[in-house]
Amino acid sequence: MENLAEWGYVGLFIASFLAATIIPFSSELVLSILIAKNYDLSTSLFVASIGNWIGGLSSYLIGRIGSWNTIEKYLRVKRKNILLWKKKIDSWGGILAFLCWLPVLGDPIAIALGFFRTNVVIVAVFMLIGKFVRYLIWAMITYWGFSFL
């Protein structure tokens, strides 16, 4: 991850994208390193949010075009986990995309939203808001941690 931080904003984008896919990855560490190296906060938040958002939308797309067998085989997301979200998706719709930033639950939510053909515009907007809020809070925690030291 430190190698990605050496790449600056490009590394942050890659880390953020990968963190939003089924690949377990911590983009927060890369963001914190860039903040520590005095990279521009606004640009860092923008790059991290967009990278993570595009990664989340790729999970949505996989759900949208995927079949049960493909999702279970390649993504290792069980059918029962997707079906658990069906009732919530029917009730809340694309607003649930706000939660796609959550560890462990975020990928199944994004895949389920795609699989059940939830409105892509609503999903995209709420997913972007959720991802941005996540990085904003992390940046605030990072700044607080540095000021504490």
pLDDT exceeds 80 at position 149: no
Confidence (pLDDT) at 88: 85
Spans of all domains in the chain? 2-148
Q: Is the model more confident about 79 or about 18?
A: 18
pLDDT exceeds 80 at position 96: yes
Average pLDDT of the segment spanning 121-142: 97
Q: What whole-number distance in Å separates Cα of residue 128 and Cα of residue 4?
A: 23
pLDDT exceeds 80 at position 1: no
Average pLDDT of the segment spanning 50-74: 89
Average pLDDT of the segment spanning 99-115: 89
Confidence (pLDDT) at 135: 97
Confidence (pLDDT) at 108: 85
Per-residue pLDDT tens over the stretch 13-52? 999 999 988 777 789 999 999 999 999 999 999 999 999 9
Average pLDDT of the segment spanning 72-76: 75
Q: What whole-number distance in Å separates Cα of residue 113 and Cα of residue 97?
A: 8
Q: What whole-number distance in Å separates Cα of residue 46 and Cα of residue 51?
A: 8
